Amino acid sequence: MPGRQTPPDRPTLPVGWRRLAARLPILLFRCGLGWIFGKRLLLLHHTGRVTGLQRRAVLEVVEHDRAGGSWIVASGFGPKAAWYRNLRADPKTLIEVSNRRHAVTARFLPPDEGAGIMARYARYHPRTARRLCASMGYAPDGTDAGYRVAGRTIPFVALEAAPGFRPK
């Protein structure tokens, strides 16, 4: 996988029906329909680091440790994504997976750990992994080594359940 070709675009708010489509997963979680997404997506509640207002973002679960109670997510827009920066400011937060809420603490993973996670993710979700790499400015070549290179630059966050977590 060659080096980064272009910087990732900052997310922009879509207008009209595109905005509705982008916000639809959040609306479904808020209506109690999070079970539709299974364990593939989660709703992250976070506090704005500047405004102090409650914010929400739907993120794809890259890995899940059911016994230990942790969920790993990636910031496809890099470390400048609002939810990522908000978690940096206040790592204790709440997530919803299906229809269950969990108190979690964000732990920001080092690049070498991110490399292994991205390589494993690409084996199970090759198309999505290619799109994630492309959104970060990489031209994925489909090899394990190529995904490891990309994984070193993609920010990964482990959302670890509070003590006393019991899997259900």
Mean pLDDT, the chain, rounded, equals 85
Give yes or no for residue 165 having a pLDDT over 70. no
Least confident of 30-34, 101-105, 163-167: 163-167
DSSP letters along 40-67, please? TEEEEEEE-TTT--EEEEEEE-SEEETT
**Mean pLDDT, rounded, for 107-124:** 93
Domain made up of 17-161: CATH architecture: Roll (2.30)
Percent of the chain, pLDDT > 70?
86
Q: Tell me, yes or no, if the pTM score tops 0.85.
A: no
Which are the contacts of 18, defined by CB distance < 8 A and separation ≥ 6? none
pLDDT digits (tens, 9 = 90+) for 19-28: 677 788 898 9
Domain ranges of the chain: 17-161
Task: Give the Cα separation of 108 and 38 in Å (integer).
Answer: 24
User: What value does the mean pLDDT take over residues 48-72?
Assistant: 91
What span, in angstroms and rounded, lies between the C-alpha atoms of 114 and 120? Answer: 10
Q: Which of 84, 37, 69 is nearest to 168 (CA)?
A: 69
Checking if the pLDDT of 14 tops 70, the result is: no
Quick one: pLDDT band at residue 141, thresholds 50, 70, 90?
Answer: confident
User: Helices 111-124 and 144-151: crossing angle, nearest 10°?
Assistant: 140
